[in-house]
Structure 1
Amino acid sequence: MNDYLHRTIPNLKPFSYEHHHDSHFINQRWVLVNGISKKKSIYIFKEDNILEISRKDNVIETSWNIDIQNNFSIETEDGLITVEAYFKDDDILVLNNKDKEEFALYINTTDYEDELNSIEDINAFLKEKYRKKVSTIIYDHEFYYIEQSKEYGPFKVEELAEKVKSGEISAYCFVKDVNEYDYSKRMRIEDLIKEL
Structure 2
Amino acid sequence: MSTNLHNTIPNLKPFDYESHHDSHLINQQWVLVNGISKKKSVYTFREDNILEIERKDTTIKTSWTINIKNIFSIETEDGLITVKAYFKDDDILVLNHQDKEDFALYINTTHYENELNSIEDIQNYLKEKYQKKVSNIIYEHEFYYIEKSKEFGPFTVEELTEKVNNEEISAYCFVRDVNEDDYSKRLRIEDLIQEL
Q: TM-score range by the shorter chain?
A: over 0.9
CA deviation vs aligned residue, 1:120-175 (integer Å, no higher than 9, x gap): 11111111111211221122111122334432211011111122223332222232
Distance 1:184 1:74, change over 3 A: farther
In the alignment, residue 140 of structure 1 is paired with which amino acid? E
RMSD across aligned C-alpha pairs, in angstroms? 1.5
Aligned mates of 2:122, 2:31 — CA distance in 1: 10
Distance 1:7 1:148, change over 3 A: farther
Paired residue for 1:74?
74
Unaligned runs of 5+ in 2: none
Aligned mates of 2:62, 2:29 — CA distance in 1: 16
TM-score for both structures, normalised by structure 2 = 0.93
Paired residue for 1:90?
90
% same residue? 79
SS in 2 for 1:172: coil
1:2 aligned to 2:2? yes
Paired residue for 1:106?
106
Distance 1:156 1:8, change over 3 A: same
State the number of aligned residues: 196
| Distance apart, 1:184 and its partner CA | 4.0
Contact 2:15 2:69 in 1 (8 A): no
1:134 aligned to 2:134? yes
SS in 1 for 2:139: helix
| Distance apart, 1:11 and its partner CA | 1.3
Contact 2:70 2:86 in 1 (8 A): no
TM-score for both structures, normalised by structure 1 = 0.93
Unaligned runs of 5+ in 1: none
Paired residue for 2:118?
118
| Distance apart, 1:185 and its partner CA | 3.6
Comparing 140-149 with 62-71, greater Cα deviation is found at 140-149
